[in-house]
Structure 1
């Protein structure tokens, strides 16, 4: 089983946002920092999850345990429902990607266990800011 930690961050609400994805695969690790554009924090969390799913599918990782410190995302995926209709299209996109997995788990973890993904998401915001300065 492959463990994927993901986090979305936003510098403002909305503001420049980034996704951090940290993959543990049989003793090896992969790190990704992806700028996401202007989003609020909850949107960034969903987009980070979608990016992590797409990355795993692209790499052929089909048995994956996802970890997030976003209670909104973990609960929405578990219940296949989100109260705020603004996030419904993002949830539906994520659930369609989940169906491509052979084995899928999503677990909520405290922020202290998701530090690497958090750092990667913040690095993506910095990366985005530097591009805009050019």
Structure 2
């Protein structure tokens, strides 16, 4: 199983944003700091999730467990629903990737357990 830690960060709301993705598994350690342009923090969290799914799909990982400190991302995926209209297209994009995995899990974790992805996301802000 591949563990995928994700975080989105924004320097303002909205402001310059970045995605941090840390992937680990048997003999796998990958880090990504992806600049996202200007968006709010929740949008950055969703984009980090989508980018992580895209990376895992391209690498043909079959069993992934996504870990996030974003309640809105985790709850939206688990419920397959989100109230805010502007986030619906982002959730739909995520659900285009999820069926490509043999097994997919998502779990909410406290911020202190997601510090690696947080550092990567903050570094991505400076790459904009």
1:113 counterpart residue number? 113
Matched, 1:6 2:24: no
Tell me the distance in 2 between the aligned counterparts of 1:47 and 1:28.
Answer: 22
Matched, 1:33 2:43: no
Where structure 2 has 5 or more consecutive residues not aligned to the other structure, the ranges are none
1:132 counterpart residue number? none
Tell me the distance in 1 between the aligned counterparts of 2:79 and 2:67.
Answer: 16
2:87 counterpart residue number? 87
Where structure 1 has 5 or more consecutive residues not aligned to the other structure, the ranges are 129-134
Pairwise CA RMSD: 0.7
TM-score (norm 2): 0.98
TM-score (norm 1): 0.93
Aligned residues: 128
**Shift >3 Å, 4+ stretches:** none
Tell me the distance in 1 between the aligned counterparts of 2:63 and 2:38.
Answer: 32
1:55 counterpart residue number? 55
